[in-house]
Every structure is written in C-alpha cells, then in structure tokens.
Amino acid sequence: MPNAVQDAPVDERTSPAEPRQASRTLRYLTLAVTALLLLGVGWTAATLTSGRTPGETSAEAGFARDMSRHHAQAVEMAMVAYAKGQNPEIRQIGYDIALTQQAQIGQMQRWLQEWDLMPTGSRPAMEWMSDDVQPRDDGLMPGMATREEIAQLHEAQGAEVDQLVIKLMINHHLGGIHMVDGVLKVSDRPEVVRMAKAMKAGQQKEINELRKLQQASG
C-alpha cells in the first residue's frame, strides 16, 4: 500500500483535472460531514430534552410514589368499609374505592418501571410539592388517618364503622385532591396529567356521595 501511494501521485499530479475533482470530492465530503454533524447535534438535543422520562427527583416520580402510599391507606379503610359497613351503600362505596385505587396504584407503579425508577424513592415524602406542604411530624401526608384512627376503625362495630369511614375517607380524599393539584401545577406528562385529572374528578364525586350519606344518617 505505501508503495502504491507513493508511485501513483507522480502520474496524477501531472493532470490538472484530478485535483479539481479531488477538491469537489472534498467539498461534498465536507458538506456531508457537516450535515451529519448537524443531525447529530439535533438528535442529541432531542434525546436530552423532549424524549426524557421523569427522573428520580421529579414531581412525577414523587407523585407516583407518594400517591401510591396515600392510596394504600384508602384501600385499607375502604376494605374495612366493605367488610364491616352497616349501610349497604357504605359497603358498596368501600368496594368501589378499594378496587379503583388499588388498580391506580398498579398504574402508577408501572410508570415508575417505565421510567427506570425504584418504587421506593430516595427523597422525603411530599418534597416534590411546590407549595411547601410538608408531611406532618408523624410523616403522614395530607388527609391521611393516624395509626390511632385506623386502629379505631378496625375496632369499630355497626353504625360507628359507617361514621368513621365517612369522616376519614372525606379527609383522605381532600388530601389526595390537594396532591393532585400539586402535580397538575408542574407536570405535562400526558399519562400523569390524565390520571391526576381522573383521580380528582373521581374523588370529588365520592366526597359528594359520602357527604350525602353523612347527612342521611343524621
């Protein structure tokens, strides 16, 4: 190869047409390379911005994790309502809330998997909320029942179950809606926005139903 290169130029250099052709080739090459370069820059920029999934400290991840835990307590209370409620309507609403919120937990956990994030976050609960609503001293998020209230619910019998379910679930839903508003304020992820809006509408409707039951029972 080196020899061939060495020998060849002598002949070609004598022809003026060759260099011109070479320079054209070079220009095309330069053009092609420039195009590639721009393509590369564009692709990189696109990858780094729009295509990116929510990260470890994002509001979306915080919402998915915290709302999963928030929902888990609603499921717990709703299952007690379903099992022990005196009024059939309380049992019915308990059944509805438990199944709906458990399914929503599953969907939120699926987001985390798709975003390559662990179910358990590295940041404190509620840190993602922009309005500085911090969990209470006992670490509970807005609207969550205390351990004592949950214990009381488990021990309750008859009409007392209904009263406690109504009171605790209305509070729980109000806290949940507050968190939904928090994520809607900052997120434009379609799956998150869609789910958050549906949660808000659903829980608002259930609050209304629970209030009706509350009034009916005096």
Partner 1 sequence: MSISTPGGPQRRPTVVSTGKKPAAGRPAADAKATGTKAGSGKPATPQRSGGGGKGPRKPITPVKVSQGRSWGPIALFVAVGVLATSIIGYGAWAAIRGSQSWEDKAADIQGIVNFRETDPESVSNSEHRAGKQEYKQSPPVGGPHNNTWQRCLGDVYDAPIAAEHALHSMEHGAVWLTYRPDLPAADVEKLASVIRNNDFMLMSPYEGLDKAVSIQAWGYQLKVDSADDPRIKEFATTLAQNASVEPGATCSAGNYTTGTGTEPRELQPSMGG
- Residue 195 and residue 127: Cα distance in Å, rounded? 20
Alpha-carbon distance values, 2 to 6, 12, 77, 98, 178 (Å): 6, 16, 83, 78, 75
**Choice from 54, 122, 189, 215 touching partner 1 (CB under 8 A):** 122
* Residue 79 binds partner 1 (CB under 8 A): yes
Give whichever of 31 and 201 is closer to partner 1, judged by the CB atom.
31
Least distance (Å) between residue 127 CB and partner 1: 13
Which string of DSSP letters, residue by residue, matches 70-134?
HHHHHHHHHHHHHHH-SSHHHHHHHHHHHHHHHHHHHHHHHHHHHTT--SS-SSPTTTT-TT---
**Choice from 87, 96, 125, 133 touching partner 1 (CB under 8 A):** 125
Residues from 130 through 159 that contact partner 1 (CB under 8 A)? 135, 138-140, 151, 154
# chain residues binding partner 1, by CB under 8 A: 56
C-alpha 60: how far from its chain's center?
4
**Choice from 8, 45, 159, 201 touching partner 1 (CB under 8 A):** 8
- Residue 108 and residue 4: Cα distance in Å, rounded? 66
* Residue 120 binds partner 1 (CB under 8 A): yes
Q: CA nearest 87: which of 215, 218, 213, 195?
A: 213
* Residue 23 binds partner 1 (CB under 8 A): yes
String of contacts with partner 1 for each residue 38-57, x by CB under 8 A: --xx-xx--x----------
Handedness of CA 117, 119, 69, 104 (dihedral sign): positive
Piece of 36-44, 167-175, 181-189, 194-202 that binds partner 1 (CB under 8 A)? 36-44
Residue 15 CB contacts under 8 Å (≥ 6 apart), including other chains: none
Please, are residues 195 and 183 in contact by the beta-carbon 8 Å criterion?
Answer: no
Give whichever of 122 and 215 is closer to partner 1, judged by the CB atom.
122
**Choice from 54, 61, 84, 162 touching partner 1 (CB under 8 A):** 84
Which residues of the chain form contacts with partner 1 (CB under 8 A)? Answer: 2, 5-6, 8-9, 12-14, 16, 18-20, 22-23, 25-26, 29-30, 33-34, 36-37, 40-41, 43-44, 47, 68-69, 72-73, 75-76, 78-80, 82-84, 98, 102, 106, 109, 116, 118-122, 125, 135, 138-140, 151, 154
